[in-house]
Structure 1
Amino acid sequence: MDQDPPLSSLGRAQVEQTAAFLEQNDVVVDRILSSKLLRSLETARIIGNRLGVACVESLDTLGEIRGNDVSALSQTSLDRAFFAGVRLVPDSWAFMNGETLRDFTARVDSEIDALRLDDSWKVALLAVHGGVNTAIISRALSGNRGAYFAGIEQDYACLNVLDIGAEPEDWVVRLINFAAHHPFHPTPLETTLEHLLSRHRQANAG
């Protein structure tokens, strides 16, 4: 499985719809950040082009939680490696036999701390990944660094809106998981992690 795939044609179309939605609603951003992964960079550039922000800051610290080889894991261990069926994930668990949740949330929290301390911006857009978004939203909802609520779903190309205040854990969560390409989530869908687990099983079937 490609560890750094670009956006698919469907993914690109979804991001274009998100970018158009932001433009139509007169959203103005003065800073766009992404990870260094191709799909994150491409998402940021599509939105930046639409909103007139030419510079995209790409940061390793905003990369998705890092997996590893899971070929030798049992079915039970595989489910655990994809956080299947778990809503509050223990921080000692390793995603796909790789990065632990503790290490992942620590690097994301550190970057968010730095962003909060930088007063040079008013509206920042983070074109990042489902796990990164979940870590940030979990912290905002709980007020706790290292929190991770796996029940927070993040659709592809979705929008979340968070306000921050002057105090370290002063957050207001205004919007979660709004997808311009299907805002009312009309049909039952796999979660993104369930889809990833299903793809892994199919790729290794037989």
Structure 2
Amino acid sequence: MIPFPTPNRRRVYLMRHGAVTYFDETGRPIEPDTVPLNEEGRKQATAAGRTFAAENIMFDRVIVSGLPRTVETAQRVLAEMPAMQARGVALEQWPELQEIRGGKLGEIPEHELAQAFIGVFEGTVPEERRFLHGESIGEFLDRVIPALARLRDLPDWDTVLLVLHGGTNRAILSHAITGGERVFFGNLAQTAGCINALDVGDEPSDWVLRMSNFSPPSPVHFGSRLTTMEVLLQQYLRYRNPA
């Protein structure tokens, strides 16, 4: 009888950055690559850090996309973890893991707005579909999946924290839950500041999803049932079509 070989798996904690404000007080869009966390986002990042600290979790690497909202979230998480501060792990910026890139909102025809905002986050999304007339799902996967493979090839970590974006997290989760397939499930909810936990083994198909979309400030997700993009579409329509 051949003994069962014990799988050798490592742990990936995958976070979405905390909440940000994408429109100013007049409703005008703010450049998404520059927005910082808002007050709610800062609370979410702090809550996540306290959750990790309570479980005495340590990270060998901490990776962010480089956009300010991921950097600030990671910094606030680590600020709640004295043991990690003593360890002195520096943030690594992987720009290939930035959010799916949109085009210019003002160039999107009125009748295409809903599909442009929401279509990328509905069901199994075809690779040719574009986000806000910008990057396609296929182009997005072309940079996210190789970055994930590069992370798996690095031997010097057992537990890693990734602080990324709603779309990027969906790409990673879709890849993981299908055992390494190239697919994008748009309806995998990713609340601002949420935590996902995945284990990854040596074989390309060896992924185990332990936890998805855990939101430390509101674990049972009480409140609005709109998605992030549905809320943003409503905000943008008020700016574009003022009463």
**Structure 1 residue 100 and structure 2 residue 141: aligned?**
no
1:34 aligned to 2:70?
no
Report what 2:90 is aligned to. Answer: 55
CA contact (8 A) 1:102 1:146 kept: no
2:220 is aligned, of 157, 165, 184, to: 184
Offset of 1:160 from its aligned partner? Answer: 0.2
1:6 alignment counterpart:
36
Q: 1:75 to 1:87 in 2, by over 3 A?
A: farther
Q: Which runs of 5+ in 1 are unaligned?
A: none
1:144 and 1:137 map into 2 onto residues whose CA distance is 10
Are 2:186 and 1:150 aligned?
yes
Q: Which letter maps to 1:14?
A: Q
Q: Provide the rounded CA distance (Å) in 2 between the counterparts of 1:201 and 1:158.
A: 27
Distance 2:125 2:225 in 1: 22
Q: Conserved in 2, the CA contact under 8 Å of 1:48 and 1:54?
A: no
Alignment of structure 1 residues 44-193 onto 2, 5 Å:
44-51=74-81, 52=84, 53-84=88-119, 86-193=122-229
Letter in 2 for 1:97: H
Deviation at 1:205, TM superposition (A): 1.9
Q: Tell me, in whole angstroms, the C-alpha distance in 2 between the residues paired with 1:171 and 1:146.
A: 14
Deviations 1:27-73 (A, max 9, x none): 11111000111000111111223331540001111100001113232
Give CA deviations for 1:123-166 in whole Å, capped at 9, x if unaligned: 00001001011000001111344311111000010000000000
Structure 1 residue identity aligned to 2:144: V
2:100 touches 2:168 (CA, 8 Å); kept in 1?
yes
1:196 aligns with 2:232: yes
Structure possessing the higher radius of gyration over alpha carbons: 2
Q: CA, structure 1 residues 64+114, in 2 after alignment: closer, same or farther (shift >3 Å)?
A: same
Shift of 1:83: 3.0
CA-CA distance at 1:119 after TM superposition:
1.1
Q: TM-score, normalised by structure 2?
A: 0.80
Give the C-alpha shift of residue 190 in structure 1.
1.4
- Indicate the SS of the match to 2:76: helix
Structure 2 unmatched runs, 5+: 1-28
* CA RMSD, Structure 1 to Structure 2 (Å): 1.5
Q: Is the 8 A contact 1:105 1:145 kept in 2?
A: no
Pick from 39, 48, 73 the counterpart of residue 18 of structure 1. 48
Report the TM-score when normalising by structure 1: 0.94
Q: Which moves more between the two structures, 196-205 or 8-17?
A: 196-205
Query: For 1:91, what is the secondary structure of its paired residue?
Result: coil
User: What letter is aligned with 1:17?
Assistant: A
Q: In the alignment, residue 39 of structure 1 is paired with which amino acid?
A: R
Bigger shift: residues 67-76 or 29-38: 67-76
